[in-house]
Amino acid sequence: MKKLFTAMIALLMVISLAACTSKPAEPTTPTEEPSAEVAEGKVLNVWTWNTEFWDFLGKYYADEVVDEYTLKKGDVTIKRTTYPSDGGAYQDALDAALLNQANAADDEKVDLFLAEADYILKYTNSDATMDVKTIGVTDFSNTYPYTVEAASDANGVVKGVSFQCCPAAVIYRRSIAKDVLGTDDPAEVQAAMSDWDKFNEVAAAAKAKGYYMIPTTNATYRVYSNNATSPWVVDGKLNIDANIEKWMDQSEEYVKNGYTAYTSNIWGDEATSEMFASGKSLCFFGPAWYFNFSMTNAQDPEKGCSGDWAICQGPQAWFWGGTWMLAATGTDNPTMVAEIMNTFINDEKVCDALVVNEAQFSNNQKVNNKYATDPNFGSEFLGGQNPNEVFAELAKNIKFQNVTSYDQLCNEGLQTYFTEYLDGQVATREDAINNFKDYIRTTYPSITVE
């Protein structure tokens, strides 16, 4: 009797455990749309580190926004999984999900995930992503070549697409420019800061008037790192490019001369507080997504200063990002994944809306160029300036090069540890670099650090 009882308990436990792990497959109901040949999953899982793309997906693709994390398209539920990008947390969680992809239930599988230029190689060069041409994304004729190149593996197989093109610019405060340079006209401001020497002269002039040239020394970091002539890792060894050294020189000088408001992280409260109307910083650096998505403080209806901004190329051409959608191997919704990708690069109506409503610089040359020459098109945030006119010109020269899959943490780490030197917390620049090297040594065992 007792044995029977124990056996039953044991059986019950096993069943309840099994019930947790393996859900019986839901019966697939035939879809109403005739176009769907094979029955596909009812849940599309999208992985992101912020809501930029997710909002566009809700507005321009889905039929219904159910809540912050759920959309509906036909009878398919689109779900969002988000982890913060900082410190590699997003990559970390995504890696775990992708490595478990084969064992995950269909509705739990990653279908579409976003990746940044800083680590996209890690995914494109692995089997975790698939050739999008096989699922029906074939027309890249309107996209910018660098966006396709960035999403391709070493053999040129395209694994994803970007919904944006990211030439970047100097985003300056019109009122401060007027006070310092006597003009806020983009062409004249550009002429005044067309190289780093001139930029420094403007910085001195701004200082004299009680302003700061930049909100934080880290604001210019991406301009220098993007113009590096060698990657972070060469033959398996950590390599600090000469251009990164130049950024260190500049930062040191700017702190010494008081040209910068802070030395903090560009995403932190300190630097972003400079975006308010009360801010004293002249120049921010970034592409279209930076001023339309990350400069929320400047757009604040009460404390912000929307309309008091304008863009110009600045001292050096560069680009930053953006965000690519990659198709995860093993997705049970290949048709929808392809449909989303095609929508954001080839559907002119959607690309149109991205440019007009969202101030994006879309990944469709035809649409972007149409607005670049449209005299009636202008951004309210930029005081009526046509951003496409600037970006269309800058987009021509973007080359995707010197990129490794380790870039995100190398970039974050270098800025963090060098800032300690700027703050006077380590004695020499070498100490700061040594701390950075320790960080890389611990973080990436595969990189040799000397």
ω into 322 cis (within 30 of 0): yes
Q: Does 71 bind another protein (CB under 8 A)?
A: no
**Which member of 84, 182, 210, 268 binds another protein (CB under 8 A)?**
268
Which of these segments, 175-183, 286-294, 334-342, 416-424, binds another protein (CB under 8 A)?
Answer: 416-424
**Which member of 98, 193, 295, 395 binds another protein (CB under 8 A)?**
98
Q: How far is the CB of 116 from another protein (least distance, A)?
A: 14
Token pair recorded at residue 341: 């990708």
The one-letter amino acid at 29: T
Site string for another protein, 309-328 (x = CB under 8 A): --------------------
Measured from the CB atom, is 247 or 262 closer to another protein?
Answer: 262
Rounded-to-integer distance, Cα 207 and Cα 274, Å: 15
Q: In 186-301, at which residue ranges do the beta strands (DSSP E only) sit?
A: 214-216, 233-234, 237-238, 260-262, 283-287
Q: Does 139 bind another protein (CB under 8 A)?
A: no
Q: Does 437 bind another protein (CB under 8 A)?
A: yes
**Which member of 147, 250, 263, 294 binds another protein (CB under 8 A)?**
263
Number of residues that bind another protein (CB under 8 A): 45
Site string for another protein, 243-262 (x = CB under 8 A): -------------------x
Q: Does 230 bind another protein (CB under 8 A)?
A: no
Q: How far is the CB of 135 from another protein (least distance, A)?
A: 21
CB 266 within 8 A of CB 218: yes
**Which member of 70, 316, 343, 434 binds another protein (CB under 8 A)?**
434
**Which member of 273, 342, 343, 411 binds another protein (CB under 8 A)?**
273
Tell me whether residue 230 is exposed, middle or buried, using C-beta atoms within 10 angstroms of its C-beta: 0 to 12, 13 to 18, 19 or more: middle
Tell me whether residue 322 is exposed, middle or buried, using C-beta atoms within 10 angstroms of its C-beta: 0 to 12, 13 to 18, 19 or more: buried
Rounded-to-integer distance, Cα 42 and Cα 74, Å: 10
Rounded-to-integer distance, Cα 262 and Cα 419, Å: 10
Residue written as token pair 């101030």: 359
**Which member of 131, 179, 252, 270 binds another protein (CB under 8 A)?**
270
Q: Does 443 bind another protein (CB under 8 A)?
A: yes
Site string for another protein, 366-405 (x = CB under 8 A): ---------------------------------------x
Measured from the CB atom, is 201 or 245 closer to another protein?
Answer: 245
The residues that bridge with 67 in the sheet, in sequence order, are 70
**Which member of 86, 188, 201, 245 binds another protein (CB under 8 A)?**
86
Tell me whether residue 104 is exposed, middle or buried, using C-beta atoms within 10 angstroms of its C-beta: 0 to 12, 13 to 18, 19 or more: middle
Which of these segments, 123-131, 239-247, 302-310, 350-358, binds another protein (CB under 8 A)?
Answer: 123-131
- DSSP assignment of 157-186: -B-EEESB--EEEEEEEHHHHHHHHS---H
Q: Does 264 bind another protein (CB under 8 A)?
A: yes
CA distance to 212, 310, 314, 385, per residue, from 185 (Å): 19, 8, 13, 10
SS3 262: strand
Residue 103, Ramachandran bin (φ over 0: left; ψ between -120 and 50: alpha; else beta): alpha
User: Tell me, what DSSP letter sits at residue 212?
Assistant: B
Tell me whether residue 61 is exposed, middle or buried, using C-beta atoms within 10 angstroms of its C-beta: 0 to 12, 13 to 18, 19 or more: middle
Q: Does 278 bind another protein (CB under 8 A)?
A: no
Q: How far is the CB of 410 from another protein (least distance, A)?
A: 12
Q: How far is the CB of 89 from another protein (least distance, A)?
A: 9
The residues that bridge with 72 in the sheet, in sequence order, are 64, 77
Which of these segments, 166-174, 178-186, 283-291, 419-427, binds another protein (CB under 8 A)?
Answer: 419-427
**Which member of 71, 128, 338, 345 binds another protein (CB under 8 A)?**
128
**Which member of 1, 25, 187, 208 binds another protein (CB under 8 A)?**
1
Name the maximum alpha-carbon separation found in the chain. 96
Q: How far is the CB of 271 from another protein (least distance, A)?
A: 9
Measured from the CB atom, is 108 or 431 closer to another protein?
Answer: 431
Tell me whether residue 246 is exposed, middle or buried, using C-beta atoms within 10 angstroms of its C-beta: 0 to 12, 13 to 18, 19 or more: middle
Interface ranges with another protein (CB under 8 A):
1, 86-88, 91-92, 95, 98-99, 122-123, 125-126, 128, 262-264, 268-270, 273, 405, 409, 413, 416-417, 419-420, 423, 425-426, 431, 434-435, 437-439, 441-446, 449-450
